[in-house]
Amino acid sequence: MSAIEILKEKGAKDIMLQVEAKNSNALSLYKSCGFEETSTMNYYEL
């Protein structure tokens, strides 16, 4: 049983991830697991 299946079985309504927009491999993996992009965030560093 996958972690996603366990979370759903336990009643999780949402499962959220954060990934850098330039990480196309991770984005492809998450989309293949059924995740959808719902928002984006900008990060700033000094």
Whether residue 9 is contained in a domain is answered as: yes
Total structural domains within the chain: 1
Res 30: pLDDT: 94
Whether residue 14 is contained in a domain is answered as: yes
- 3-state secondary structure at position 9: helix
pLDDT, tens only, 12-40: 999 999 999 899 999 999 999 999 999 99
Whether residue 10 is contained in a domain is answered as: yes
Whether residue 19 is contained in a domain is answered as: yes
Q: Are 27 and 19 in contact (CB under 8 A)?
A: yes
Nearest to 29, CA basis, from 39, 12, 17: 17
Whether residue 18 is contained in a domain is answered as: yes
Whether residue 43 is contained in a domain is answered as: no
Res 43: pLDDT: 86
Whether residue 11 is contained in a domain is answered as: yes
**Letter string b/e over residues 30-46, b meaning 16 or more CB atoms within 10 A of that residue's CB:** beeeeeeeeeeeeeeee
- pLDDT of 1 above 90: no
Whether residue 26 is contained in a domain is answered as: yes
Which residues constitute the domain of residue 25? 3-32
Res 23: pLDDT: 94
Dist CA 11 CA 5 (whole Å) = 10
